[in-house]
Amino acid sequence: MKEKILALLIARQGEFLSGEELSRCLHVSRAAVWKAVESLRTDGYRIEAVTRRGYRLLESPDLLSTGLILPLLDDPRPGRLTCLDSVDSTNTYAKTLAAAGAPAGTAVIADRQTGGRGRRGRSFYSPAGQGLYLSLLYRPQGDPARAVNLTAYAAVAVCLAMEKVSGLQPGIKWPNDIITDGKKLCGILTEMSIEAETRLTDYVVIGIGINVNQKPEDFPEDIRDVAAGLAHASGRPVNRAALAAAVINETDKAFASWESGGKAIYEQYCARCLNIGRKVKLVRGHTETEAFAEGIDEDFRLLVRWPDGTREAVGAGEVSVRGVYGYT
């Protein structure tokens, strides 16, 4: 009952809902509604009660739960979202669900990861109560080579979601780090499974890790100079459930745009890419070479000009980029 009242209040998005309407919808007495509201307040929800207008939700505690997130989704299919207190890696968990036949759109969120994974075998710092660790499962049709681009689509989706909830306009460090002021707010790890016989994509899991509530001093020393929290960077408190919902909604839209072959996301990616028009250091194995980043092609490869004037399109699997100017 408490969860149902909460869902109705969230769906109203800060507007009043009368006690009479609540008791009618839920077939309970107004006294029972009042009791449930009191209990929600004890859980940390700030709910205003005004005579003749009813109740409205002013603030939710910064928790990640299906009750808080599902009502904010454009596609709130029950069962699409799993929220966990702790898990080794949401990507690993989502891949297990995918192998067991979970449908496209399945999402896994954790408050904390004990073995959060980053690109190139690195770990991803994932403390409780501070970040958003989210994995989304899709089942793209067609050539797996095109599905690789989904990670860039997700980068644009995360930027749009961050903008929506915090007002901050982040940029993208090629291929898919989300950056503000030269520091990393978010990393994305996309993993795919391809069926060997047909060479078709079985599933893609897009793993998104966002630093949200950390202040600079909260990061371990080795990443303090290169990492930032969204709330601190934007100067606004960020509700992680609202951020999670915005990221899922924007990534769903980005996936639909990938399916329809639209160019809008590619254009947004280029507009946000911080490397274009700057010198970059490209690392291939143990070799580091400086080049000039001229643009991004439609497969999201970085178009570079080498010092001898020759040009090349490099893929994210071949090289990594080190900034000549700090992290970017």
Give the residue numbers annotated as catalytic, written as ranges. Answer: 119, 184, 322
Residue 243 to residue 264: CA distance in whole angstroms: 22
In the bound state with ligand BTN, the residue whose beta carbon lies nearer, of 13 and 123, is 123
In the bound state with ligand BTN, the residue whose beta carbon lies nearer, of 57 and 176, is 176
In the bound state with ligand BTN, the residue whose beta carbon lies nearer, of 117 and 232, is 117
Give start and end residues of each alpha helix (H) in 100-236.
144-147, 150-166, 221-224, 230-234
Contact 322, 283 (CB under 8 A): yes
Interface segment toward ligand BTN; rule CB under 6 A; list 27-35, 119-127, 246-254, 303-311:
119-127
Sort residue 208 into left (φ over 0), alpha (ψ -120 to 50) or beta. Answer: beta
Residue 119 makes contact with ligand BTN by CB under 6 A? yes
| Least gap, CB of 120 to ligand BTN (angstroms) | 7
Q: Which residues inside 88-107 make contact with ligand BTN, applying CB under 6 A?
A: 89-91
Residue nearest ligand BTN by beta-carbon distance? 187
Residue 211 makes contact with ligand BTN by CB under 6 A? no
Contact 204, 190 (CB under 8 A): yes
Residue 316 makes contact with ligand BTN by CB under 6 A? no
Contact 136, 208 (CB under 8 A): yes
Q: Which residues inside 133-192 make contact with ligand BTN, applying CB under 6 A?
A: 133-135, 187-189
Interface segment toward ligand BTN; rule CB under 6 A; list 9-17, 37-45, 203-211, 308-316:
203-211
Per CB under 6 A, the list member of 105, 171, 207, 229 interacting with ligand BTN is 207
Residue 268 makes contact with ligand BTN by CB under 6 A? no
Alpha-carbon radius of gyration of the chain: 22
Q: What 3-state DSSP class applies to 106?
A: coil
Interface segment toward ligand BTN; rule CB under 6 A; list 7-15, 33-41, 48-56, 129-137:
129-137
DSSP 235-298: TS---HHHHHHHHHHHHHHHHHHHHHT-SHHHHHHHHHBSSTTEEEEEEETTEEEEEEEEEE-T
Closest of 91, 5, 108 to residue 56, by C-alpha: 5
Q: Which residue has the tokens 């207190």?
A: 85
Residue 229 makes contact with ligand BTN by CB under 6 A? no
The DSSP bridge partners found for residue 297 are none
Name the residues that contact ligand BTN, by CB under 6 A: 89-91, 113, 116-119, 122, 124, 133-135, 187-189, 207-209
